[in-house]
Amino acid sequence: MNKNIDRDHQTTNKIFDNRSLATDYPTVIPLLKKGLHVLDAGCGTGAISRDIAHLVGPDGSVTGIDNTEKFIVSGRESYGETANLELIFSDLFSYQPAQKFDLIVSARTLQWLSNPKEALIKLKSFLKPGGQLSILDYNHEELEWIPEPPKSMQLFYQTFLKWRADAGMNNRIADDLEEYFAETGFQSIEVYESNERYTRDNANFLQRIGIWSKVAASKQMVEEGYINDDLRLSAIEDYDKWIEKEAKQMTMKLKEVRGRV
Ligand SMILES: C[S@@+](CC[C@H](N)C(=O)[O-])C[C@H]1O[C@@H](n2cnc3c(N)ncnc32)[C@H](O)[C@@H]1O
């Protein structure tokens, strides 16, 4: 149902810990009023959840859930001092909240599911009447690199998209979310462009553009017969050299879609 290609949890923890609400989920900030009770579904280590907890203040709360236990354990260590933040190891499909939420946010999580519409139905059931759901996710088919990366990485990336599609994941979920929201009965649906653009003058350029070497570090697609190991290793080597000398810009296409019950 849900595959996570990055088995190197240390690396993944670091990527998630480097995320922040301001840079990685900015469109949702205007919704974050004091006193709101918020669920962050697929929170990773909870870096974004922690920033949301600060904005909703002590009369509000954030519950982050994630079905990868190591991320939750790491998040509890890193953000344990945030009193109104609770991180729970749970799958969103089996989660049973004690209370319903005013707002549910979910960033970069439905892209990993083969049944994203069922996730919307589930999340809808956790909302109070009048509550709001916000999903931020990718269109991986529209990723842009300037200039073009090495052929080996282009081939790796196309194989990655095929691997995802074969597992039932929607590579262009950002552009289908609006329809999913309508089909699952949400009202007042709004769509916001939320692309991530990294250029050499960004402090975190190397880390962000380097994401594809980290994805290629996993042997999962080799083990499943999608790609041979030589090509995978060439993709990493060629891409890392390209990043060092040639890469100018990478744009990942995302949309935030929100709706009310
Ligand atoms: C790419 S990460 C995004 C983390 C964080 N929201 C962010 O934007 O940095 C996706 C997360 O969704 C979690 N996840 C995937 N399927 C899930 C499910 N069915 N229930 C709960 N969490 C899930 C994964 O463990 C992973 O931490």
Between the CA of 109 and the centroid of ligand 1 the distance, in Å, is 4
- The answer to whether residue 3 sits within a structural domain is no
174-178 long-range contacts, Cβ below 8 Å, gap at least 24?
A: 174/137, 174/138, 174/139, 174/253, 174/254, 174/255, 174/257, 175/139, 175/255, 177/110, 177/135, 177/137, 177/255, 177/257, 178/257
Q: What is the CATH number of the domain that holds 89?
A: 3.40.50.150
| Number of domains the chain is built from | 1
- The answer to whether residue 214 sits within a structural domain is yes
Q: What is the DSSP string of 71-90?
A: HHHHHHHHHTT-TTEEEEE-
Q: Which residue do the tokens 């205007």 mark? A: 30
Give the pLDDT score at 174: 98
Domain that holds residue 147: 9-260
Cα 224 to Cα 3, 34, 219, 251, distances in angstroms: 12, 47, 9, 29
Between the CA of 107 and the centroid of ligand 1 the distance, in Å, is 8
Each residue's pLDDT expressed in tens, for the chain with a length of 261 residues? 344 444 445 666 667 888 999 999 999 999 999 999 999 999 999 999 999 999 999 999 999 999 999 999 999 999 999 999 999 999 999 999 999 999 999 999 999 999 999 999 999 999 999 999 999 999 999 999 999 999 999 999 999 999 999 999 999 999 999 999 999 999 999 999 999 999 999 988 998 999 999 999 999 999 999 999 999 999 999 999 999 999 999 999 999 999 999
Cβ partners under 8 Å of residue 122, min gap 6: 92, 93, 95
pTM for the structure as a whole: 0.93
For residue 136, give the ligand 1 atom closest to its CA. 8
- Confirm or reject: Cβ of 91 under 6 Å from ligand 1: yes
- The answer to whether residue 4 sits within a structural domain is no
- Confirm or reject: Cβ of 71 under 6 Å from ligand 1: yes
* Rounded CA separation 16/157 (Å): 21
Give the pLDDT score at 62: 98
